[in-house]
Amino acid sequence: MIWRIRGRELTITRPLVMGIVNVTPDSFSDGGRHAGDPAGAADAATVMAAAGAAIIDVGGESTRPGAQPVWEGDQTARVLPVIERLATAGVAISIDTRNANVAAAALKAGAAMVNDVSAGKFDPRMFEVVAAAGCPIVLMHHQGQPATMQQDPRYDDVLLDVYDWLEDRLAAATAAGIAKDRILLDPGIGFGKTLRHNLTVLNGLALFHGLGCPLVLGASRKRFVGALAGEAPAEKRLPGSLALAVAGAGQGVQILRVHDAEESVQALRIWRGLRDSALTP
């Protein structure tokens, strides 16, 4: 499968890496290292791209558990200087936002796709903006809002409930004029899910291929990784994150959204090499 964004061709016959660049003061993963430093953020993103990240996901609003919404004007002011720099460098850019106006401004500045952790539920204009742009969009499952989503998440059957929810959002997106081949789906690890919920979804990722869209997995450095690793802090969760990236690739996930691009690219190359070797007589 060849996926074209902004004139670039991405071959989704093997798992690709999406590198994360946060320009927020309260990022759980880096403590706001790039807040107020668009040049530094762009430099970090360029290093990720040079290391093999196919897409760079730029976000100006933290959606970690407990986070409060960020005004769209602040988001735009944070992300546009980074996106403009990366677009000039020829990097494929995703804008990580729930706000339609932020998405529209980012796409105009050079972003090539939208990553909406609310799957169009936060801002009803999001699907209109994406349909008009003809760009890809990631629809992510969530339960509740970031400020409260981890307080008491409940499901009858988490795998089937997430599947049905994504199916509903996929239908809403296509009804709004977004082509199905422009839609990617993310089961939303850590977004309104307990440790047990996350593990069940991760072990059942292959189920979501039944929806007929490429899958995105964003499990990098998340809290449940720390819980499984003796309460390791975010900066110590690289080994667990790599294990999850490889596990996701083994279930056919097409895009791995990660903080540690170079390490993830290498891990996936080794995984692919072993797989290719096993299939060679």
Residues annotated catalytic, as ranges: 222, 257
**DSSP string over the chain:** -EEEETTEEEETTS-EEEEEEE--TT-TTTSSTTTT-HHHHHHHHHHHHHTT-SEEEEESS--STTPPP--HHHHHHHHHHHHHHHHHTT--EEEE-S-HHHHHHHHHHT--EEEETTTTSS-TTHHHHHHHHT--EEEE--SS-TTTTTSS---SSHHHHHHHHHHHHHHHHHHTT--GGGEEEE--TTSS--HHHHHHHHHTGGGGGGG-S-BEE--TT-HHHHHHTTS--GGG-HHHHHHHHHHHHHTT-SEEEES-HHHHHHHHHHHHHHHHHHH--
Spatial distance between the Cα atoms of 94 and 178, rounded to a whole number of angstroms? 17
